């Protein structure tokens, strides 16, 4: 290699913002300004023909309709859940709620491709040590027709939450540029903690929240993390949420398959019975509903082969009487900091987080649940005592 070419490649290595794409094989590192330039290099030097993320497709998988539907498309079938009999519930769940193999493969492939893009093409200061799937996809509780995902990006060059807080605004701005310019993503905007993007598979849209964080669970004990959180302000504690996501994933994904089926049913009920949150109204998100289901199932004695209709009935009753809810777990800590609240469902990953507080309209949700308990689904059930 001539001296001039060496100088060019050295300049590129020193300016990763201008040359965000790099070859994973070459030593020393070679950087490129555009993804097609890297692709041509891979083909010429290494015989690799890469497929750009924006052109990615899965022709072997059939097209999944309504992969990212609006709330109105869910609402069109909401009457079906309210009018079916108890004998029809299991088949309804299989047809309308449980994601099939092709759906799972389609969602997984497009999200994996986005993870791959971030791991291979983000510049050094944004380089992930790991990208972890969170949300419903990560926990195995996704509902068919709703494939939103959360991706926690653990940044390799950050070790402390204070360092992340000081730099998060700049990190989000840079991620937004790379994802929109080079990643083939439709960037919807940013929140205080995430970049919101939309990616496409077979012409259908997937909404994805990308949350940069620090892998504090790798570098610290849980006890040390909770001690640091105890001495932090309330706003500062919010930065720990994404970092603790692996504990949430482990907790929810570890429940039996049938409990996950009940979780999907309750989430489907929430999606079809309510208009999306607008203005100051904040409906319960998926996570509180997941934990309420798990808590009620545990209180019922953890039945393994329960009746799905009875389980649904008892979860809705728990929502009706939400002011009596007191669910907490000690799988990750010995005591929580919200037990003085009137009612609570404590995040098993975060002893400071009463997740019931994220919703400000539980009275309205309870009334909806009370009305739904009068539907034919429950009137036709022979007995609603217990879960079995």
- Residue ranges of E strands in 271-387: 326-327, 344-345
Same domain, 98 and 228: yes
Q: What is the CATH number of the domain that holds 208?
A: 3.30.460.10
pLDDT of residue 147 exceeding 80? no
More confident of the two residues 4 and 298: 298
- Give a yes or no: residue 307 inside a domain: yes
Residues 6+ apart with CB under 8 A from 297: 255, 259, 262, 303, 306, 311, 387
State the pLDDT at residue 27.
61
- Residue ranges of E strands in the chain: 21-22, 31-32, 128-134, 149-155, 186-190, 195-201, 204-213, 326-327, 344-345
Same domain, 302 and 238: yes
Same domain, 40 and 181: no
Give which of 219, 247, 201, 227 is closest to 160, Cα–Cα: 219
Tens digit of each residue's pLDDT (9 = 90 or more) over 200-248: 665 556 789 999 999 999 999 999 999 999 999 999 999 999 999 999 9
More confident of the two residues 135 and 224: 224
Same domain, 75 and 41: no
Same domain, 234 and 271: yes
The range of the structural domain enclosing residue 144 comes to: 71-379
Same domain, 42 and 82: no
State the pLDDT at residue 270.
95
pLDDT of residue 75 exceeding 50? no
Residues 6+ apart with CB under 8 A from 366: 319, 320, 321, 322
State the pLDDT at residue 71.
39
DSSP state of 308: H
Count of structural domains within the chain: 2
- Give a yes or no: residue 388 inside a domain: no
Same domain, 43 and 86: no
Lowest-confidence region among 134-148, 217-231, 257-271: 134-148
State the pLDDT at residue 264.
96
Same domain, 86 and 28: no
Tens digit of each residue's pLDDT (9 = 90 or more) over 289-317: 999 999 999 999 999 999 999 999 999 99
For the residues 6-29, what does the mean pLDDT come to? Answer: 72
Angle separating helix axes 362-372 and 257-273, nearest 10 degrees: 100
More confident of the two residues 50 and 119: 119
Same domain, 152 and 261: yes
- Give a yes or no: residue 137 inside a domain: yes
- Give a yes or no: residue 118 inside a domain: yes
Same domain, 195 and 233: yes
- Identify whether the C-beta of residue 68 lies closer than 8 Å to the C-beta of residue 206: yes
Give which of 253, 332, 252 is closest to 292, Cα–Cα: 252
Average pLDDT for the chain:
85
- Give a yes or no: residue 57 inside a domain: no
Same domain, 12 and 76: no
More confident of the two residues 15 and 234: 234
- Identify whether the C-beta of residue 348 lies closer than 8 Å to the C-beta of residue 222: no
pLDDT of residue 367 exceeding 60? yes
* Residue matched to tokens 């709330």: 71
More confident of the two residues 277 and 371: 371
- Give a yes or no: residue 387 inside a domain: no
- Give a yes or no: residue 171 inside a domain: yes
- Give a yes or no: residue 95 inside a domain: yes
State the pLDDT at residue 42.
65
State the pLDDT at residue 213.
98
Map residue 56 onto helix, strand or coil: coil
Same domain, 26 and 145: no
Q: What is the CA radius of gyration of the chain?
A: 23
State the pLDDT at residue 53.
44
State the pLDDT at residue 3.
66
**Residues β-bridged to residue 343:** none
Tens digit of each residue's pLDDT (9 = 90 or more) over 30-74: 787 776 787 777 666 755 444 444 433 332 222 222 323 333 344
Map residue 299 onto helix, strand or coil: helix
């Amino acid at each position: 290699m001539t001296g001039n070419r060496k100088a060019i490649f050295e300049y590129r290595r020193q300016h990763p913002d201008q040359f965000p794409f790099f070859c994973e094989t070459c030593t020393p590192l070679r950087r490129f300004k555009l993804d097609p330039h890297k692709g041509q290099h891979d083909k010429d030097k290494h015989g690799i023909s890469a497929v750009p993320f924006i052109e990615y497709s899965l022709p072997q998988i059939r097209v999944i309709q309504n992969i990212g539907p609006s709330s109105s498309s869910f609402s069109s079938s909401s009457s079906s859940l309210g009018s079916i009999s108890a004998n029809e519930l299991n088949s309804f769940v299989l047809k309308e709620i449980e994601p099939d193999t092709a759906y799972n493969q389609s969602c997984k492939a497009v999200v994996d491709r986005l993870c791959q893009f971030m791991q291979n093409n983000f510049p050094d200061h944004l380089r992930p040590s790991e990208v972890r799937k969170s949300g419903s996809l990560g926990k195995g509780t996704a509902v068919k027709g709703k494939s939103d995902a959360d991706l926690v990006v653990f940044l390799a060059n950050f070790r402390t939450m204070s360092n992340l807080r000081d730099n998060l605004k700049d990190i989000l701005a840079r991620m937004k540029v790379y994802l929109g310019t080079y990643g083939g993503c439709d960037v919807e905007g940013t929140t205080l903690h995430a970049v919101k993007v939309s990616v496409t598979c077979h012409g259908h849209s997937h909404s994805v929240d990308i949350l940069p964080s620090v892998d504090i669970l790798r570098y610290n004990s849980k006890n040390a993390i909770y001690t640091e959180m105890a001495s932090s302000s309330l706003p500062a504690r919010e930065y720990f949420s994404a970092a603790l996501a692996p504990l949430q994933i482990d907790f929810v994904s570890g429940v039996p398959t049938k409990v996950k089926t009940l979780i999907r049913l309750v989430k489907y009920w929430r999606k079809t019975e309510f208009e999306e949150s607008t203005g100051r109204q904040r409906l319960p998100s998926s996570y509180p509903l997941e934990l309420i289901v798990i808590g009620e199932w545990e209180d019922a004695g953890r039945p393994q082969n329960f009746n799905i209709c009875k389980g649904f009935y008892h979860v809705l009753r728990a929502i009706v009487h939400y002011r009596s809810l007191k669910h907490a777990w000690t799988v990750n800590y010995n005591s929580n900091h919200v037990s003085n609240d009137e009612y609570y469902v404590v995040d098993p990953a975060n002893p400071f987080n009463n997740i019931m507080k994220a919703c400000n309209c539980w009275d309205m949700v309870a009334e909806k649940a009370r009305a739904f308990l009068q539907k034919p689904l429950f009137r036709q059930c022979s007995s609603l005592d217990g879960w079995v």
